[in-house]
Homo-oligomer: A and B are copies of this chain.
Amino acid sequence: MKERIEIGLMGLGVVGGGVENALREKAADIAKQVGAPLAVKRILVRDPSKKRTCQVQPHLLTTDPQHILSDPEIDIVVEVIGGESPAYDYIKESISRGKHVVTANKEVIAKHGFELLNLAAQHQVALLYEASAGGGIPLIGPLRHDLLANKISAIHAIINGTTNYILTKMALEDIDFTTALREAQELGYAEADPASDVEGIDAAYKLVILAALAFQTQVLLGDVYHEGISRLAARDFRYAKELGYTVKLLAIAKREDNTFQVRVHPTFIPDDLLLAKVNGVFNAVQIDGDLTGRILFYGQGAGAAPTSSAILADAIRVAQNINQGLSQIPQVRLGQTMTARPISEIETRYYLRMTVADRPGVLAQITRILGELLISISSVIQKGVDERAQSAEIVIMTHPAQERAMQQAISQMEKLDVVKEISNLVRVED
C-alpha cells in the first residue's frame, strides 16, 4: 500500500490541461476510489513560459523528459503529447523503466501497440489506452473485459467527429463538401489542415486499435483501406435519402473465418439503423457479438473533458492495482493468427453515380459491362437530363458484388465514349 501514487504527465495541451485540471478538482473522490492520493508530480512541456488557462503550479513544469523517466517515485506516466515522435520513445522508455503508462495516443498505439504491449507484459507494467479511440465513450474497457466471451463478427463505427459533423451538415442543409468543411473549420471542429480527418486516416488509427481487440489479433495500419469524404456531393445525399439511406464515414472491421477486413470509407447505411441517427460531432461504435447480438456505444469522441474521463479511468485502474500489490493488468491475449483481406476481395453492394450521354443504347452498354463481370443490378434511376450538354445523370444500385469486379467495371465504363464521368462509387452496408 503506497501512501501516494505519483503521475508524470507528458504534455499540457488541451487534453493535458483537462487531465491536470480534473485530477486536481476531483482529488478527494479519486483518492477514495484508489485508497491513496493520485497526484501529478511533474509535467513535461515544450515551453514553460507559455501562458496557460489551467492553474498549474509552475514548479511542476519541466522541459526535460528525464525528470519524469528517471524519477523512481513516479509510478504512472500519462502521455498526452500526441503524434508518433517523440511520444513513442517516451512510452517505450517509461515501460522499460518499469513505469505504468496511460496514453491517449492513437497513432503510437495503432503503429506500435503490439510491440509496446509485449514490452509492457515483459516488464510487468500496464499499458492502457482507453482515450486513444472514442474519447469519453468506454470502448477499450468493454472490449478488454465485458465483451471478452464474445466472438465479434463486425464493428461499424462513426469514430471521427469532424467528418461526421461535415456529413451531418451536408445531409441536413443540402450543401457541398467544401462549404461544410469551411463551416466546420470556422467552428473549430475541423483543423486548418483537415487531411487526417477528412481522408479517414484518424479513423484508420482508431479502427486498428478496436479491430485488434475485437478479433484478438495483430492488425497493421497497412491492412486498412481508407478513402475520404471529399468526393461526396450534395446530390449523393439527396439520392441516398430517396433510396432510404444515410451517408456516413464508417470504420468497418469484419471477421470471416480466419481472415478479417478493415476499411474506412463513405458508406450508405439504412436510415432506420440507430447508427444512421448519430449526428454532429458525436461518435458511435456498433459491435456484433455472437452472444450479445448487436450493441452500440455512443458519445463524444473528442474534447478535453471526455478524453480526460478515459485517461483518469485508466489511471485509477492502474493506481488501484498498484495499491493492491498487483503489477500487471490482464491484457487481451492477441493469440489468433488471422490474415487481412485486401479491399479487392471484399463483397458488398454499391451505389454508382455517373454522367452519360443522353441517347438511346447507353444503358445497354453500361449494363452489359456489369453483367459480364457478374455484377447484378438492383435498381437504375435516371436522375436528370442536361439538355444543353446532351447528358443525363444515372444512379445504379447493385446487389452484393466483388470489389475487384466493380473496379474492373469502373475502368471499362470510363473507356466508353458515352460515359462522361464516373462521379462517385459508394459502398453500401445493409
Q: Which of A6-14, A62-70, A300-308 contacts B (4 or more CB under 8 A)?
A: A300-308
Closest chain B residue to A309, Cβ basis: B291
Picked from B29, B291, B335, the residue with its CB within 8 Å of the CB of A136 is B291
What number of copies of this chain does the assembly contain? 2
Q: Are A289 and B136 in contact (CB under 8 A)?
A: yes
Which residue of the partner chain, among B32, B33, B293, B298, contacts A296 with CB atoms under 8 Å? B298
Choose from B145, B292, B299, B335 the contact partner of A293 (Cβ within 8 Å): B299
Enumerate chain B residues within 8 angstroms of A29, measured Cβ to Cβ: 151
Most B CB atoms within 10 A — which of A22, A32, A299, A300? A299
A residues with a Cβ closer than 8 A to B are 22, 26, 29-30, 32-33, 130, 136-138, 141-142, 145-151, 274, 277-278, 289-300, 303, 305-306, 308-310, 312-313, 316-317, 320-321, 324-326, 328, 330, 332-333, 335
Provided the pairs A297-B297, A324-B328, A326-B324 are in contact, do residues A136 and B313 lie with their beta carbons within 8 angstroms? no
B137 touches A292 (CB 8 A): yes
Asked if B305 and A300 sit within 8 Å, CB to CB, the answer is: no
Whether A137 contacts B298 by the Cβ 8 Å rule is: no
How many angstroms from the CA of A32 to the CA of B216 in the assembled complex? 11
Contact A293 to B320, CB < 8 A, known contacts A142-B142, A149-B313: no
Q: How far is it, in angstroms, between the C-alpha of A294 and the C-alpha of B291 when the chains are bound? A: 27
Q: Whole-angstrom distance between the alpha carbons of A326 and B290 in the complex?
A: 30
Residue of B nearest to A26 (CB): B149
A145 touches B149 (CB 8 A): no
- Chain B nearest CB: distance from A141 CB in Å? 4
Contacts of A313 in B (CB 8 A): 145-149
In the complex, A335→B277 CA distance in Å? 38
Whether the Cβ atoms of B297 and A293 lie closer than 8 Å is no
Chain B residue contacts of A324, Cβ below 8 A: 326, 328, 330
CB distance from A84 to the nearest CB of B (A): 26
Contact in complex: A293, B305 (CB < 8 Å): yes
30 contacts between A and B (CB under 8 A): A30-B149, A32-B335, A33-B148, A33-B332, A130-B146, A136-B289, A136-B291, A136-B293, A137-B292, A138-B138, A138-B142, A138-B147, A138-B295, A141-B145, A148-B313, A149-B308, A149-B312, A149-B313, A150-B309, A277-B277, A291-B306, A292-B299, A293-B299, A295-B300, A296-B298, A297-B297, A317-B330, A320-B330, A324-B330, A325-B326
